[in-house]
Chain A
Amino acid sequence: MFHTVGKPVLRKEAHAKVTGAAKYVDDFSLPGMLYGVTVRSPVARGRIRNIEFLPGIPWDEFIIVTAKDIPGENCVALIVDDQPYLAAEYVNHPEEPVVLLAHPNKYLTEKARGAVRLDIEPMPAIFTLEDALAKKEIVWGDDNVFKTFLVEKGNVDVAWSDAAHLVEGEYRTGAQEQLYIETNGVVARANPEDGITIWGSMQCPYYVHKALLKPFPLPPEKIRVIQMETGGGFGGKEEYPSMIAGHAALLAWKSGRPVKMVYDRAEDMVATTKRHPSRTKIKTAVSREGKLLALDIEFDIDGGAYATLSSVVLSRGTIHAAGPYLCPNVRIRSRAVATNAPPHGAFRGFGAPQSIFALERHLNKVARVAGLPPEELRGRNFLHRGETTATGQEIHEDVNLEALLSRGLELSCYHAKRREFAQSNPGSRIKRGIGFASFMHGAGFTGSGERYLQSVAAIEATREGRVRILVSSTEIGQGTNTILAQIAAETLGIDCADIEVAQPDTAQVPNSGPTVASRTCMVVGRLIETCAIGLKQALSKVGLLGTGYSRSDFAAACTRYVDQFGGLKISSQYQAPPGVYWDDDAYRGDAYGAFAWAVCVAEVAVDTSTFEIRVNDFTALQEVGRVIHPVLAAGQIEGGVAQGIGYALYENVVWRDGRMANGQMTNYIMPTSVDVPRIRVFFEETPYTYGPLGAKGIGELPIDGPAPAILNAIENALGVEVNEIPLMPEMLFATMAREEVTIG
């Protein structure tokens, strides 16, 4: 049916990446370039009294930038303009940037960084959600609260009395470092005449473009942002590049020379964003038949010191908190609060992994209380087509979660393994267990987000008879270049190799929106599909393209068109699918154009003498609409699962007064090739009407399920309930010791 969609065509940058030829920002230099470094606050909160430049450094050779050197506004433009590029009077978190230094000698800048002494009068600071909510100190606004949401469906308060069972629980998730293997970095060239050019590692060139308009008094066309090959993002290069780009540009502006800033690993880990820590409290009412009658959820996240993206992270987390279940009465109250940690930010899943962790752990508890197997409880409460989510969104597409769950359990031999482990565990030092989670992930910006973005994509025919895709959507490893080329090639009836993807450069490509929110394939891919249809029509209309054309006919038609008319470029702007409407004020309606649905099953082994936990097998089954590229799609799932395993079991950010104390790969542990089990990936394909060739979003979905599935498996193995991640061996030891005391 398709000639390129669904086929494992070669990744567009494959050759460059396997030969080492691909150019990342640190591989790029300009003549006369300086190296920039950032001097950061050693304290969590305080008033800057003095900045001292200690002897032993040739300071007259250095370019030194402080807040007063910023030509325009000192703020990183995002949602609320509360975060400065450089702290002027007060610092609000450890590692907050205060001074920038640049020098031609990279080694000397490092030495100089240590010779700047910040004299800061400490002020009381807060480091926990609880202290923020209790207003132990007010560190942001009037009440430490960045944002609150309320979702109400039915009336939870009337449901309690009818319930056969009331079940309550509290769930916590820790911070997580994105840990892209390429750290944040940019090269900047800046002066008042030519404006600013940034080359960098980033997900969202237009975010950087918008941000730089504040500190620099320049018209938009004088700011140019170019994405280099990017060594992973996972959300960590969504908003942060606006900060480092601004810093490098300030140094370049003052010096008149290009400036490179590339963080070392320690700086990247302690100073840049992480996943928001969370706490969720859930109370459910369940009928005798195991039907959910009411879901009352309090979902709180720690946003760190500045607002950044916390409100939208909270929004996605809030909407996903009720999961893929039908419940007549739902109340979700959520808050994002300020503490004196570096701002937490975007990370794959964007709030959903936190709230889904809570719900999928909680439903296992509900099942136990209701006397039902966990799969049976979920089976009685799944959403169907025609039913509504917590925000009142009616599901218009076919979804069969019962079948998805049964197939997932079958593929993983869930029932057989439950029986087997029940037999083999008693008397064994190694206890094995199996658990699952069922969940969904909305594709595209939440609520009205896509309407506000008004993304534009374009494609053009070239004189050489090829087709070029023009988008600001970035290739960060996930396969953007390849899948967009496939969508265009499929629609145009030509080969993927005939399609080029332009380097994201704000001077050359339209704003197709940020590369976030599982939106690139579904939303931008759809725009490319529309453009491709337009391009084909344009060629046909002037008689250059008949029916039944070959690749070479098509190429010849492009060449002739360009020769005859000077060029052929087709743009397309986002339009919401019919019937999709979100009410911002009531916080109700169609939260997402489409949801991807999934079930994942984890098998674990716990050594009861060392409390080491291993994931021995993992099955991931998902319905993501049409699979555009089977290898890239499976790669997204496998990578997300591995990150989810790390989130659940290994990746422990140790906080000391708001500062990450283990900012090294030596003691912040991500999964290695030895830690990740075989991951078996399966897709079901229900084409989505408004996705390109039926595709939905995929990128974030796979990190939502592993953590609760793994903890459900641990519960199966040990019979203990642990509701906090990351679950380190010492925590499991403490829990088991406590349980034994209670029992015995």
Chain B
Amino acid sequence: MAKVAIEFRLNGVARKLEAYPMERLLDVLREQCGLTGTKEGCGEGECGACSVLMDGQLVNSCLVPVLQAHRAEILTIEGLAAVAELHALQAAFASAGGAQCGICTPGMILATLQLLERAPHPTDEQIREGLAGNLCRCTGYQKIFDAVREASRV
């Protein structure tokens, strides 16, 4: 199979690259684009560690063939904040103890971003439902909930 030309906007910047159409968006982001903040946890769409926003939708980038990302708008953790300053969500995760080992954190923060866009002041139930596709083995989720609540107050 031949490589195809792919264009997308990645963290606000137009990118052109060549990839096999069925390559995982996850691998293209990490290897070709050098953005390693997106993590692989399971490779089967269960854990959400590889979550990114594609045209505003939370997707598991391990399940997205890069062809599907053609002409899409993609946001990864690296695109969330300006260089020196943290996004309010990142600051909340840092101060509330929402990141322990940190491997689920980029995906969890992007899932929270989408959750708060849909429900700026979510109920506990909405927080639980909104993050149910992102697994964390360290925190028992409580400090992540705290971080979401903290961020939703900003």
Contacts of A631 in B (CB 8 A): 96-97, 143
Which residue of A8, A27, A640, A642 contacts B141 across the interface (Cβ within 8 Å)?
A642
| Whole-angstrom distance between the Cβ of B138 and the nearest chain A Cβ | 5
The verdict on A423 contacting chain B, using a C-beta distance below 8 Å, is no
A665 touches B142 (CB 8 A): no
Given A181-B49, A635-B143; 17 other pairs, CB 8 A cutoff: A11-B94, A14-B94, A20-B76, A20-B78, A180-B137, A181-B104, A182-B39, A183-B41, A231-B102, A232-B100, A632-B97, A638-B142, A639-B138, A642-B140, A670-B137, A672-B133, A674-B128
Chain A residues positioned under 8 Å from B44 (CB to CB):
265, 664-666
Shortest distance between the CB of B71 and any CB in chain A (Å):
24
Residues of A within 8 A of B140 (CB): 635, 638-643, 671, 676, 679
Nearest Cβ distance between residue B20 and chain A, in whole angstroms?
A: 9
Please state if B39 and A24 are interface contacts (CB–CB under 8 Å).
yes
A21 contacts partner chain B, Cβ-Cβ < 8 Å: yes
Q: Are A234 and B137 in contact (CB under 8 A)?
A: yes
Closest residue of chain A to B49, judged by CB? A181
| A634–B86 touching, CB < 8 Å | no
* B contact residues around A642 at 8 Å (CB): 139-141
- In the complex formed, the residue of A with least CB distance to B27 is A106
Residues of A within 8 A of B (CB): 8, 10-11, 13-24, 26-27, 178-183, 229-234, 264-265, 476-479, 631-632, 634-635, 638-643, 664-666, 670-674, 676, 678-679
Query: In the complex, A21→B97 CA distance in Å?
Result: 17
In the bound assembly, the distance between CA atoms of A673 and B8 in angstroms comes to: 32
B81 on interface, CB distance cutoff 8 Å? yes
Answer whether A181 and B97 are a contact pair too, CB < 8 Å, given A639-B139, A676-B141. Answer: no
Q: Does B135 contact A (CB under 8 A)?
A: yes
Give A477 to B140 CA distance when docked, in angstroms: 13
The interface bits of chain B over 20-41 (1 if a CB of A lies within 8 angstroms of the residue's CB, else 0) are: 0000000000100001111111
Q: Which residue of chain A has its CB nearest to the CB of B77?
A: A20
- Per-residue CB contact flags for chain B residues 94-117 toward chain A (1 = under 8 Å, else 0) read 111101111111100100000000
The binding surface of chain A is classed by DSSP as loop
B139 & A13 in contact (Cβ 8 Å cutoff)? no
Instruction: List residues of chain A with CB within 8 A of the CB of B132.
Output: 672-674
B interface, how many residues as a size bin? 35 or more
CB closest chain-A residue, reference B142: A638
Measured between alpha carbons, how far is A720 from B30 in the docked complex, in Å? 52
Q: Which of B35, B41, B91, B93 has a CB less than 8 Å from the CB of A265?
A: B41
B143 surroundings in chain A (CB, below 8 A):
631, 634-635, 638
**Distance in Å from the Cβ of B29 to the closest Cβ of chain A?**
11
Residues of A within 8 A of B35 (CB): 20
- Residues on the B chain within 8 Å of A670, using CB: 135, 137
Option from A20, A479, A639, A666 in Cβ contact (under 8 Å) with B137? A639
* 8 nearest A-B residue pairs (beta carbon): A20-B37, A477-B101, A231-B103, A17-B102, A642-B140, A638-B140, A20-B77, A477-B100
The winner among A27, A181, A233, A265 for most chain B CB atoms within 10 A is: A181
Question: In whole Å, how far is A204's beta carbon from the nearest beta carbon of chain B?
Answer: 16
Q: Which of A27, A232, A641 contacts B101 (CB 8 A)?
A: A232
B104: chain A residues at CB < 8 Å are 181
Cross-chain pairs A/B with CB under 8 angstroms, 16 sampled: A10-B95, A11-B97, A13-B102, A16-B102, A18-B102, A19-B80, A20-B36, A20-B76, A24-B39, A233-B101, A476-B101, A632-B97, A635-B138, A639-B137, A639-B140, A674-B129
Q: Kindly state whether residue B46 has any CB partner on chain A within 8 Å.
A: yes
Q: Are A635 and B97 in contact (CB under 8 A)?
A: yes
- With a cutoff of 8 Å between Cβ atoms, the chain A residues found around residue B99 in the complex are 11, 14, 17-18
Question: When A665-B46, A674-B132 are in contact, do A479 and B100 touch as well, CB less than 8 Å?
Answer: yes
Bound together, the chains give a CA A230 to CA B103 distance in angstroms of 8
Contact of A27 among B36, B105, B129 (CB under 8 A): B36
